[in-house]
Amino acid sequence: MTSAQPVPVDEQRMAQLWIRFKADDEKAFDQLVQARYRVLFNYATRFTKDRDLIKDCIQDLFLELWNRRAAIVETPYVTIYLIKAFRNNLFRRMRREAARPVVTAEMLEWETVATDELTVDHKWIADEMLMSTEQSLRQAVDQLPKRQQEVVFLKFYEGLNNDDIAQVMAVEKQTVANFLYRAMTQLRAALPVRLFA
């Protein structure tokens, strides 16, 4: 994130936990782990289906953080710090174990509209349409190159901006914009027009 942008409330809370964790507060550390475990796990599924490897890498990351807590810098952007550190550890481990990255389509979760007033039939139809749309989107995302999939995941699933994505991926901001443009162009071509209306 750039310094011109305000720090989101959730990141402010994470930064406070980070400060407490660095001061040997085990409860704050546990809260950090609980708050970001799922984010890291979901992120890793873009690169490997090996759930045990993912869990091991997350555990290794947090163990390393705890052991080095006194030397770790303070940051207002804890989530970005964690994703970047995790990404480096995951890729290093995958290279070391000669694992080949496999990207899955389990990246975008959709929120359904409120269906309290719909009849059971209408709800069923809405659910079927949503599942069909979600499946089409996942298949289209699976066809993207790996780096474009990563940008789509970070942008739309994690809500990061281009500056943050550039930091996580260790590329220039323009490269992120290019990946995103190409990905959206391919998705628009592959998906029904109604998704982009």
pLDDT the model gives residue 33? 93
**Residue 57 to residue 144: CA distance in whole angstroms:** 25
Q: Which two tokens stand for residue 43?
A: 């992120």
Query: Could you tell me the two tokens for 179?
Result: 């990946």
Residue 149: other Cβ atoms inside 10 A: 21
Q: For the chain, which residues make up each domain, given as ranges?
A: 9-96, 120-196
Amino acid, single-letter form, for residue 63: L
Q: Which CATH architecture has domain 120-196?
A: Orthogonal Bundle (1.10)
Which amino acid, 48? T
The angle subtended at Cα 31 by Cα 46 and Cα 51, nearest 5°, is 30
9-96: CATH number: 1.10.1740.10
Residue 59 near residue 169 (C-beta atoms within 8 A): no
**Chain segment 24-44, per-residue pLDDT in tens:** 999 999 999 999 999 999 989
d(C-alpha 54, C-alpha 41), whole Å:
6
Alpha-carbon separation of residue 162 from 80, 171, 172, 174 (angstroms): 12, 10, 9, 8
Say which residues have a Cβ less than 8 Å from residue 65's Cβ, sequence separation at least 6.
21, 29, 72, 85
Tokens of 87: 């990404």
pLDDT score of 193: 52
pLDDT at residue number 152: 86
Distance, CA of 77 to chain centre:
14
pLDDT of residue 127: 54
Q: Of 104, 91, 25, nearest to 53 (Cα)?
A: 91
> CA 142 → CA 5, 22, 103, 104, 162, distances in Å?
32, 39, 7, 7, 21
Give the residues of the chain that fall short of pLDDT 50.
Answer: 1-3, 99-123, 194-197
